[in-house]
Amino acid sequence: MSMDNIKQLKTEFLEYLEIEKNRSQLTIRNYDHYLSFFLEWALIHRPEEITAELIRKFRLHLNRYKDKKEKSLKKVTQDYYIIALRGFLSYLAKRDIKTLPSEKVELGKTQEREVEFLQIEEIKRLISATRGNSLSDLRDRAILELLFSTGLRVSELTNLNRENINLKNGEFSVRGKGGKIRLVFISDSAKDSLVRYIEKRKDPDPALFINSKKAKTKNNKDISVSRLTPRSIQRIIKKYAIRAGIVKKVTPHTLRHSFATDLLMNGADIRSVQSMLGHSSITTTQIYTHITNQHLKDVHQQFHSKKLKGT
């Protein structure tokens, strides 16, 4: 196949992301989707056919695009397509293949990202909703406690093995995005929940969080287990949010946001929070500052110069 065939180059770019850049399979699938969408729309065969005018028309297409349900693409989603395209162009430039320079493709200005998080009273209600002493009850409480205690991404949580957790020291290392390793810490409450859950486990499976189901045998003693998936964790959290009467949309990432805002509101510096979240850039962590600024404003209005009122 000719080296100027753009679909072949796209495949080689995805392989480059996997091998040289150590990107996750999810990231690679997303980039494949975004670039395939672009190529199917553009109907081009060679890299030099990618021009500034073509990119301008593609951005218009993204902005006006509607799916089968007549839903438009959010601005942040449109940016994902452009980010993938810029990455592809940078890769082509690295190989000295003639095409549009990636720096000529700018991201559009988007609205400030809105962060949904739970107040501490809502966190207490959510965790308290895990009633019972069955294996699944203890597992679910441990999941909620650990997510709020550590700010883990859901993929990081589901990849954990029992041997990863040091309950004696109350800390463990986790491999995050880009293969970066960081240290996370377990609260006393989360530690207690994990101990109760792990002691209840009778299976030899190495995964920390499992979906256990008794096999249909005569004695019903055999147990079939499998590692929980991110989707399973999402369903678990949604169940307890409904049970706790929380009307907000609660996801694993909501608990990650709640972890970060709780730290900042209680005086943690943003660099420390960046490190605990595993953000490579402080800019990513700064999405939380407008929340804490509002908190400081509320504190100011509540406590400052009360004696001057009415003078």
Does residue 253 have an active-site annotation? yes
Active site residue 177: yes
Q: What is the mean pLDDT of residues 111-119?
A: 75
Q: Is residue 223 classed as helix, strand or coil in its secondary structure?
A: strand
Active site residue 45: no
Check if 279 is active-site: yes
What pLDDT shows up at residue 284?
83
Residue 90's pLDDT is: 96
Q: Which of 10, 153, 191, 257 is catalytic?
A: 153
Under CATH, domain 6-104 is a member of which superfamily?
A: Tyrosine recombinase, N-terminal domain (1.10.150.130)
Which residue among 59, 61, 177, 201 is the active-site one?
A: 177
Provide the token pair at 64: 């006006």
Per-residue pLDDT tens digits for 195-205 = 999 999 989 99
Whole-model pTM: value is 0.69
> pLDDT (tens digit, 9 = 90+) per residue, 73-87?
988 899 999 999 999
Domain chopping of the chain, boundaries: 6-104, 120-299
Q: Which of 86, 191, 257, 279 is catalytic?
A: 279
- Give the architecture-level CATH label for domain 120-299: Orthogonal Bundle (1.10)
Burial of 155 (0-12, 13-18, 19+ CB in 10 A): middle
Q: Catalytic residue, from 253, 257, 307, 309: name it.
A: 253
Catalytic residue among 23, 191, 256, 257: 256
3-state secondary structure 115-163: CCCCCHHHHHHHHHCCCCCCHHHHHHHHHHHHHHHHCCCHHHHHCCEHH
